[in-house]
Structure 1
C-alpha cells in the first residue's frame, strides 16, 4: 500500500461510529436534563456535572463535575460529528484496486495470506466494500475530465492498445497488472481542454458564417450549445458552471449572428 497509490483501503466502521455518536448524544441529553433540573434549586444553580438522579442531594462539587463532564463530552461529540462528515467526503476505493490488493494478499510472492482470523476478513469479505475508504482522492483529485478518462477511456485504451505499449508491473504478484500514473491523465486532460477551448468557438463561428438562413443559424446555435453543454458536464465541477458557461457561449453566438446580419444588410 505504501508503494502503490490508491491501493490503500481502510474500514470506516460507519455503524460503530454512528452508535458511538448516538451514545454521546443520549448522555448529553441526560446531562442537559439534570442541568435544567439543577437550575430550579437556588443554592445549586451555579454549577454542573455527573450522573445524578436526585438533584436535591447534590453538592456543589457534584454539580461542578456535571458541567466539566458536559464540556468534555460536547467537545468529543462535535469532533465525532465533524470527523464523520470529513470521512463521508472521502472516496470509496475502486473495485479493481481492491481486487488487486486481494490478488497480492493471496499470492505466495506477495502477502502470502499473512493475516488470520477476523483481521483477514477485512481483506477477504466483499460485503465490507461499502464500508471502505481510501485516503487518495479520485484520479486527478477533483479534475472531472481526468476522472472520466480514467474510468471510461483508459480501460478501452488498455484493451486495444495499452497492453502492447506499456510494461506490466515488476512484482510477480502483479505480473498481469499494468499501472497508469494519474499525473499523465491530468496532463492529457489539460491538453484536451486547451484544444477544445480553441476549436469549439472558432468552428462554431465558421459554421454560422457559412450558413445564410436565419432559421438554420438558430438551429445551428442550439445544436452547438447542446454539444458545448455536454462537454462542460464532463469538464466542469458544478452544474452552475455548466449553466453559466453554456449561456455565455450561446449569447456570444447570437451576438455574432446579429452583427453579421447587420453587416450584410
Structure 2
C-alpha cells in the first residue's frame, strides 16, 4: 500500500480540476478511487426488468391470440419459425399478424442489454473497497493548496470529502485479508511522516504532485516485515519472563490471555497471514505459555520459590 503526505515550504499553485486529480490517480494507482453507483445501477436493472416483464406478458397474450386464431398460418407460429418470421413480410398472405414477431425481436434486444447489465453490475460489486485512510489521503491532497489544490465545482466534489465507503471502489485495492494491514501501514506512514519523514524525504518532482511525498509499498512492507520478525522473537520470551515473576495463578492466566491477544493482533496487523494461519499460530503461542504456567515455578517476593504445578 502506498500513501501520500505533505512536505514543507509549499509553492503557489493555481487551482486544478479533473486533469490534476487524474494525473494523481494515474501516477499512484491506490488513489484511483471512484463511486460504484451501486444503488443507481440496481435501480436501472429494476427498470429494465419491469420493461421485460411487460414485454413477456404481451408476448404470452399474442401467442394465445395466434394459437386460437382461425387463420392457418397464425396457428402454426408456435410450431414453425419460418411461418412466424414470414409474418412480417410484405408478400405474406392476408390475415397474418406480425405482433408476436415484433415482440420477440424487441425482447431479444432488451434481454441482451439486461443480461449484460446484470454481469456488469456483478463485476462492479466484486471490485474491492478502498480503505478509509486512503480516501482521506485523497481528500487531503485535493483540498490542500500546497499539494493538489484541486477545486471541483459540481456535487461530485463531496465524493472523497464525505465518503460512503460501501459505494466507493478502488481500482488497485488491497486484498480482503490485507485490508486491515494496509490501513495500519497508512496510519503508520502518517505518523512517520509527521515526525521525521517530511524532513528527510524529498517531495515528488512532477508539478502536479508538488509537496507530495510518495512512500512506496515496498519500503513500508520491508519495515513492517522487520518489526514483525522482531516481535515474533520477543513476544514468547517476554511472555515467559513476565509469567515467571507472577505468583497468583489467576494473574498468570490473565497475563497469558493478554499476551495471546497481543500476539494475534500483531499477526493480523503486521503480516499477510490468513485467518486460519493467525488462528493456528495464536493457538501454538498460547499453548507454549500454558505449558510454561503448568510446569514451572514462580519467584515470590521473599525470594522463595512457589510451585505452580507438580
> TM-score under structure 1 normalisation?
0.68
Corresponding residue for 1:184?
219
Q: Secondary structure at the match of 1:178?
A: strand
Deviation at 1:233, TM superposition (A): 4.8
Q: Which runs of 5+ in 1 are unaligned?
A: 49-55, 108-112, 114-119
Contact 2:141 2:149 in 1 (8 A): no
Corresponding residue for 1:220?
255
Matched, 1:97 2:138: yes
Corresponding residue for 2:30?
6
Give 1:1-265 correspondences, 5 Å limit. 1=23, 2-14=26-38, 16-34=40-58, 37=61, 43=75, 61-62=101-102, 64-65=104-105, 68-69=108-109, 71-87=111-127, 89-91=128-130, 94-101=135-142, 121=153, 125-129=156-160, 130=163, 133-138=169-174, 142=178, 144-150=180-186, 152-211=187-246, 213-235=248-270, 245-260=281-296, 265=310
Name which structure has the greater RCO, CA cutoff 8 Å, separation 6+.
2
Deviation at 1:253, TM superposition (A): 2.2
Q: For the residues of structure 1 that align with 2:149 and 2:251, how far apart are their CA atoms?
A: 63
Q: For the residues of structure 1 that align with 2:35 and 2:203, how far apart are their CA atoms?
A: 29
Q: For the residues of structure 2 that align with 1:4 and 1:241, how far apart are their CA atoms?
A: 31
- The structure where helix makes up a greater share of residues is 1
- For residues 142-162 of structure 1, what are the alpha-carbon distances to aligned partners after superposition, in whole Å with 9 as ceiling and x for unaligned? 253343021x22222212211
Residues 211 and 132 of structure 1: CA distance in aligned 2, closer, same or farther (over 3 Å): closer
The alignment covers a number of residue pairs equal to 244
Q: For the residues of structure 1 that align with 2:177 and 2:309, how far apart are their CA atoms?
A: 49
> TM-score under structure 2 normalisation?
0.60
Larger radius of gyration: 2
Q: Secondary structure at the match of 1:136?
A: coil
- For residues 112-134 of structure 1, what are the alpha-carbon distances to aligned partners after superposition, in whole Å with 9 as ceiling and x for unaligned? x9xxxxxx646x84223346644
Q: Which runs of 5+ in 2 are unaligned?
A: 1-22, 68-74, 85-95, 298-306
Q: Secondary structure at the match of 2:54?
A: helix
Deviation at 1:76, TM superposition (A): 1.7
Q: Secondary structure at the match of 2:213?
A: coil
